[in-house]
DNA sequence: GTGAAAGCGCTAACAG
DNA sequence: CTGTTAGCGCTTTCAC
């Protein structure tokens, strides 16, 4: 900055003023111009560390990602977050911790972030589940995306979740609307939060349609393709084969695709299949393309950035972001349609 | 730090000495102990920004990820990188740029990183392809993981690539070794680097086996599941159906699975299929489990951290990291085996 | 062994 | 409108 000042023939303070575009300090247009030029020819860039040190605020937000590596689409959360952060000239620093990280591991991660001056941290997961948050002592602004503190503590300034119940209701309504009455629900683990919400959504849709809850058979899977395969094979081999499968996620739907084909069933002609997640490079690439529910990861990430960079909300916010069903080719009216 | 000094009844400098564990400055064990205790009860943490500002070196390394969001397993690169960085008490700051980012976009990304004091940046991609690097003017140490500068400039201190040729050779040898003589290669785009290397590997394996290069039919896909489906359907429907398919990646192999089933072919009984990438949650989840080639993303990331945190190598290093074939269930000897 | 003081690159009073 | 200066939290030289 001194070099720029010298080159422009002004004081270093003046350089700071024009570079930070401070409108309250008047600077002669000509001077201003000289400074800008000097800065540009010298390829000057302000050192954020020094700047932050001085102003006492941070221009970077940290994210603790609880197992990106294990989840293909965590990228979207990051993307939304980053885009929004960038718009507010903030940077994003991420540190990935294992899905099975202990509280101590996470404490280290958060500490590393805080030591480097992040002004806020967002915990992000792709699975909508409890995560370890470590012992951070409320030292930093925090938000949660698709996860919440495993230890039951308060979820910082914001708890941002996909509206899985609504999504579950929406796909169910879609399939019901097509005329299906014999449906199987191939869900995630029985204790999984998302699975439960989605199933409740299903129940709501059933209620709305005036159908008994036990008209849909339900199974527990593990969100893996193989479990989708196994469950689908089992239900499809029995008598009174369902005409539609509501899968816990796209991976399980893929398993169902494989199982259906192995049994000589055509999708969607003989069997409709719906997924959940709208996983990139999967749902829209399948043959036939998979009807599914889009998870609003990008929006969730963006919202987190928005909240944490702005003024702290008077009280913690909890938001459920809508999950839209995206209808593609794998769902159609049931065969032998009788209405 | 002043608070700690006061609490321990020593000067602030002494606190710095013991906290940084400087063995060249002798400190009385008792004093040392008092400082440590004070620091811990006050929950003191050193501000890396101030520290870096003073010492003039950085303890964080930046990564420009060229399209994480679009590639499911970029996470592994990050993971390896982070693990290695952590071992050397560095942090990792990532910024994701779009796959189609312009040089200007990338310049901004790198600048954001450098302004925040990263000591080095690694460009990472999941696709092994040229990437924009922006105009960074050699201002910072740089390495490339699974990518290289699109503008033909020198690849910084290190160019780290998967050995796709070796991987291609290895799968081909595996399938050839099983006895297959009628093979089709369903590759990625004709101009794609990885596709070409993998195909060269195939040629080498053919040469080693004393087989003519034209004994394997080759097709161009786009690494998407649908293109795998389309290509497989085409080649499988024709006369002299191949007994084995070498796919450009796991996604295409999945397409081939789907196509094979649609034609009533059993894998691997009627048809062997091999993928490439060993994509998490895909390859090992398919039914049957997919034989494929593992990409060493984790190792690549780790190596980048190792190089950039250590002393600069005297001259740029280029390393090819081995891709191992992982044999699972989708490959077996051909039907009507005649040897 | 320990402490005082300078300075890393920056911002923000305040004086001119 | 511009320049001087103190100080953000730290490290390190040098004197005690």
The nucleotide minimizing the C1' distance to residue A45's CA is C9
More confident residue, B69 or A242: A242
Cβ within 8 Å, pair B72-A73: yes
Instruction: Find chain A residues with C-beta within 8 A of B71's C-beta.
Output: 75
Which residue from A50, A60, A226 is facing B285, i.e. has the nearest CB?
A226
Strand-by-strand arrangement of the A272-274 sheet? A216-220, A183-187, A244-247, A272-274
Contact B60, B305 (CB under 8 A): no
Report residues of chain A scoring pLDDT below 50: 338-339
Contact B150, B132 (CB under 8 A): yes
What mean pLDDT do residues B30-46 have? 91
Count CB atoms within 10 A of the CB of residue A158. Answer: 23
Q: How far apart are CA B307 and CA B305, in angstroms?
A: 5
Q: How far is the CA of B30 from the C1' of C8 (A)?
A: 32
Task: Please check whether residue A117 touches B, CB under 8 A.
Answer: yes
Instruction: Find chain B residues with C-beta within 8 A of A74's C-beta.
Output: 75
pLDDT score at A279: 92
Per-residue model confidence as pLDDT tens digits over B156-180: 999 999 999 999 999 999 999 999 9
Mean pLDDT across chain B, nearest whole number?
A: 93
Contact A91, A59 (CB under 8 A): yes
Minimal-distance CA residue of chain A relative to B252:
A285
Q: Is nucleic acid strand D under 7 Å from A10's C-beta?
A: yes
The CA-atom distances, in angstroms, between A211 and each of A150, A180, A182, A187 are 36, 11, 11, 20
- Asked if residue B337 has pLDDT above 70, the reply is no
**What does the block give as tokens for A212?**
């008994």
- Asked if residue B338 has pLDDT above 70, the reply is no
Cβ within 8 Å, pair A60-B117: no
pLDDT score at A338: 46
Q: Is nucleic acid strand C under 7 Å from A28's C-beta?
A: no
User: Which of the nucleotides in strand C have any atom less than 7 Å away from a protein CB atom?
Assistant: 1-5, 7-13
Q: Which residue is nearest to nucleotide C5 (CA to C1')?
A: B13
Instruction: Find chain B residues with C-beta within 8 A of A46's C-beta.
Output: 115
Task: Please check whether residue B104 touches A, CB under 8 A.
Answer: no
Pairing between β-strand A292-293 and β-strand A325-326 as defined by DSSP bridges: antiparallel
Minimal-distance CA residue of chain A relative to B257:
A258
Q: Which residue is nearest to nucleotide D9 (CA to C1')?
A: B50
pLDDT score at B147: 95
Looking at the complex, report in whole angstroms how far the Cα of residue A152 sits from the nearest Cα belonging to chain B. Answer: 23
Task: Please check whether residue A91 touches B, CB under 8 A.
Answer: yes
pLDDT score at A137: 65
pLDDT score at B229: 98
Q: Is nucleic acid strand C under 7 Å from B26's C-beta?
A: yes
SS3 A331: coil
DSSP readout, B240-264?
S--SEEEESSHHHHHHHHHHHHHTT
pLDDT score at A230: 98
pLDDT score at B25: 86
Q: How far apart are CA A213 and CA A203, in angstroms?
A: 6
Q: How far apart are CA B122 and CA B63, in angstroms?
A: 5
pLDDT score at A98: 86
Which residue from B137, B286, B287 is facing A43, i.e. has the nearest CB?
B137
SS3 B219: strand
The nucleotide minimizing the C1' distance to residue A55's CA is C11
Q: DSSP secondary-structure letter at B216?
A: E
Catalogue the E-assigned strands of chain A.
Answer: 60-66, 91-97, 120-131, 141-149, 158-162, 183-187, 216-220, 244-247, 272-274, 292-293, 317-321, 325-326
Looking at the complex, report in whole angstroms how far the Cα of residue B133 sits from the nearest Cα belonging to chain A. Answer: 17
Q: How far apart are CA A315 and CA A320, in angstroms?
A: 16
**What does the block give as tokens for A17?**
């003023």
Q: How far is the CA of A313 from the C1' of D5 (A)?
A: 38
Q: Is nucleic acid strand C under 7 Å from B51's C-beta?
A: no
What mean pLDDT do residues B90-99 have? 87
pLDDT score at B206: 98
pTM of the model: 0.92
pLDDT score at A243: 97
**What does the block give as tokens for B199?**
């195909």
Which residues are CB-contacts of B264 (< 8 A; sequence separation ≥ 6)? none
Q: How far is the CA of A15 from the C1' of C7 (A)?
A: 20
**Binning pLDDT at 50, 70 and 90, where does residue B339 land?**
very low
Which residue from A82, A96, A262 is facing B96, i.e. has the nearest CB?
A82
Per-residue model confidence as pLDDT tens digits over B98-149: 888 999 999 988 998 999 989 999 999 988 899 999 887 677 899 999 999 9
Instruction: Tell me how far apart the terminal alpha carbons of chain B are, to the nearest angstrom.
Output: 78
Phi, psi (degrees; rounded to nearest 5) at A207: -60, -45
Looking at the complex, report in whole angstroms how far the Cα of residue B148 sits from the nearest Cα belonging to chain A. Answer: 22
More confident residue, A92 or B218: B218
pLDDT score at A69: 63
Q: DSSP secondary-structure letter at A294?
A: B
Q: How far apart are CA A183 and CA A102, in angstroms?
A: 40
Q: Is nucleic acid strand D under 7 Å from B46's C-beta?
A: yes
Q: How far apart are CA A83 and CA A273, in angstroms?
A: 34
Cβ within 8 Å, pair A45-B114: yes
Cβ within 8 Å, pair B287-A258: yes
Q: DSSP secondary-structure letter at B25?
A: S
Indicate the length of chain A as a whole number.
339
pLDDT score at B70: 63
Q: Is nucleic acid strand C under 7 Å from B49's C-beta?
A: no
Residue A170 preceded by cis peptide, ω within 30: no
A260 closest CA partner among A247, A249, A248, A273: A273
Q: Is nucleic acid strand C under 7 Å from A1's C-beta?
A: yes
Task: Please check whether residue A220 touches B, CB under 8 A.
Answer: no
């Amino acid at each position: 900055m001194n070099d720029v000042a010298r080159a422009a023939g002004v004081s270093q303070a003046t350089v700071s003023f024009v570079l930070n575009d401070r409108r309250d300090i008047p600077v002669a247009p000509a001077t201003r111009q000289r400074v800008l030029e000097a800065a540009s020819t010298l390829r000057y860039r302000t050192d954020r560390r020094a700047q932050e040190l001085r102003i006492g605020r941070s221009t970077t937000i940290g994210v603790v990602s609880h197992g990106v590596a294990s989840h293909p689409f965590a990228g979207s959360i990051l993307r939304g977050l980053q885009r929004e952060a960038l718009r507010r000239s903030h940077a994003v620093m991420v540190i990935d911790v294992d899905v099975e990280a202990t509280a101590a591991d996470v404490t280290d991660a958060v500490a590393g972030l805080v030591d480097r001056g992040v002004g806020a941290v967002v915990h992000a997961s792709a699975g909508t589940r409890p995560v370890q948050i470590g012992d951070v002592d409320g030292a930093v602004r925090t938000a949660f995306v698709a996860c919440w503190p495993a230890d039951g503590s308060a979820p910082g300034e914001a708890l941002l979740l996909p509206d899985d119940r609504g999504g579950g209701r929406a796909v169910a309504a879609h399939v019901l609307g097509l005329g299906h009455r014999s449906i199987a629900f191939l869900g995630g683990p029985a204790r999984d939060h998302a699975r439960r919400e989605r199933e409740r959504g299903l129940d709501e849709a059933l209620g709305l349609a005036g159908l008994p809850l036990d008209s849909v058979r339900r199974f527990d899977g593990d969100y893996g393709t193989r479990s989708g395969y196994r469950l689908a094979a089992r239900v499809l081999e029995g008598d009174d084969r369902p005409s539609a499968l509501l899968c816990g996620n796209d991976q399980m739907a893929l398993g169902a695709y494989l199982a259906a084909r192995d049994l000589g069933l055509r999708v969607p002609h003989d069997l409709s299949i719906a997924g959940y997640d709208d996983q990139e490079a999967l749902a829209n690439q399948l043959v036939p393309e998979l009807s599914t529910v889009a998870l609003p990861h990008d929006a969730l990430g963006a919202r987190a950035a928005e909240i944490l960079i702005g003024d702290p909300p008077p009280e913690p916010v909890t938001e459920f972001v809508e999950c839209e069903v995206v209808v593609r080719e794998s769902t159609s009216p049931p065969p032998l349609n009788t209405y």
